[in-house]
Amino acid sequence: MDTRYQNQIDPVSSGEMPIVDPDRLVDIEQKHRRVAEFLELHGYDALLLTKPGNFSWFTSGGNCARSGSHEPTAALFITPEARVVVTDSANSARLFDRELPGLGFQLKERAWYEPRHLLVQDLCRSRKVAADIETRGVEDISLHLRGMRLPLSLVECERLRELGRDVAHAVEATARSFSRGQTEAEVAGELAHRLIKHRIVPERLQVFADLQALRYPHWSYGNDRVERSCVIAAMGSRQGLHAGAARSICFGKAPDDVTDAHHRATLVQAAGMYFCRSDWELFEIWNRIVRIYEKYGETDAWLRAEQAEIVGYDACEVPIVPKSEFRLETRMPVYWHPSVGPAITGDTMLVSEDEFELLTPMSDWPKLRIEIKGTSVDRPAILCRD
């Protein structure tokens, strides 16, 4: 480092120095033990992790992506005895100062102009290496890694609770405050601003002006102006974890057809969340929500777009689809976002032993009370604004 600038970049107080999080360190140690057991059981010498989501998982919230993108700036090379960060000279300081302070990681570094994959190749040479990619010289174990990432640890669940509250608050605050006549893009900009203020990466933003959701279920945002109604949805990530929420508003009284569509979508969502029980296979839940669609004359509505997915260090860890035999466990988060006609409703929940835990709670928002098997479930209604 050029000594001419040393004084300017030295911390001026202890408050600028990152503090080692003991809970995070324990979480990393537990994951390292699980990886070591996996390597020994399957006869591997090391595990190579190259994807940002897997980096975040193993480091318990570390971020190796280059700012403003999903481009990785580092990889992890993990043996039973060591956890090594493989990176370049332009990124090593940030990673060890800001993302991995005092957490027991070692460094393998090359100059920024030298390809990182050459250093990775050197580490893998003459070793039997498992990896999260399919490439020459390693064995792809991506499916096994999903089993390690889920269910979430207790530390990760607490982070997801905080993330869910912040995502829901950002969506609701945007829905309450934007002005009639603004474009979808302008509304999305306000939403992104609120998320970024809380260090949440806006992974997916959707603003459906008027009946946009009826035309394009996967719409993001454009130059259409919001004149009568709007659905605002966001998927955000922080410390690698993902949570999503969606809310609906109308200017003036909501039209009957919009209200009816929203109510039906809410019935499906509430049922899906209610039946997300530990030890249930996904097809069991799917069969129940399809029956609700059929009961209310929306037999083919689920064909238009996804209904839900298990989330975590990916925005979709496991899709909820017909005939899936994936089995739920406690501490698995699910984002339910069914749609009926122009209506979409979305919230993230956590599978628990008994009733589900809502991770994206409503704050000063109108509610619909849904009865399922004698249990009352409060869900977001349409917010009617002047």
Q: Of 149, 174, 198, which residue is a domain's last?
A: 149
User: What is the pLDDT averaged over residues 324-339?
Assistant: 97
Which residue matches tokens 């979430």?
152
212 and 68 in a common domain: no
User: What is the pLDDT averaged over residues 180-200?
Assistant: 98
In this structure, are strands 347-350 and 333-336 parallel, antiparallel, or unpaired? Answer: antiparallel
| CA nearest neighbour of 342 among 386, 382, 380 | 382
CB 107 within 8 Å of CB 129: no
Report the C-alpha gap between 10 and 194 in whole angstroms.
Answer: 31
Range of the domain at 174: 154-385
User: What is the pLDDT averaged over residues 305-331?
Assistant: 96
Which residue matches tokens 């409703």?
345
At 107-151, the pLDDT tens digits run 999 999 988 888 899 999 999 999 999 888 899 999 999 999 999
Query: Residue 218 burial (CB < 10 Å; 0-12/13-18/19+)?
Result: exposed
Residue that wins the pLDDT comparison between 27 and 71: 27
220 and 128 in a common domain: no
346 and 278 in a common domain: yes
Find all residues with CB under 8 Å of 341, minimum gap 6, and list them: 213, 214, 257, 258, 261, 301
Q: Is the pLDDT of residue 17 over 70?
A: no
328 and 216 in a common domain: yes
312 and 236 in a common domain: yes
101 and 82 in a common domain: yes
172 and 145 in a common domain: no
302 and 163 in a common domain: yes
Q: Which amino acid is at 276?
A: C
> How is 298-350 classified by DSSP, letter by letter?
-TTGGGSS--EEE-SSSS-SEE--TT--PBP-TT-EEEE--EETTEE-BEEEE
Q: Of 94, 118, 149, which residue is a domain's last?
A: 149
pLDDT at 248: 97
Q: Is the pLDDT of residue 10 over 90?
A: no
pLDDT confidence band for 375 (50 / 70 / 90)? confident
128 and 166 in a common domain: no
215 and 246 in a common domain: yes
159 and 115 in a common domain: no
The answer to pTM > 0.85 is yes
Report the C-alpha gap between 32 and 25 in whole angstroms.
Answer: 10
Whole-number average pLDDT of the chain: 92
Q: Which amino acid is at 201?
A: V
pLDDT above 90 as % of the chain: 80
State the total domains in the chain.
2
CB 348 within 8 Å of CB 245: yes
Which residue matches tokens 């403003």?
68
302 and 275 in a common domain: yes
Residue 19 maps to which CATH number?
A: 3.40.350.10
Find all residues with CB under 8 Å of 162, minimum gap 6, and list them: none
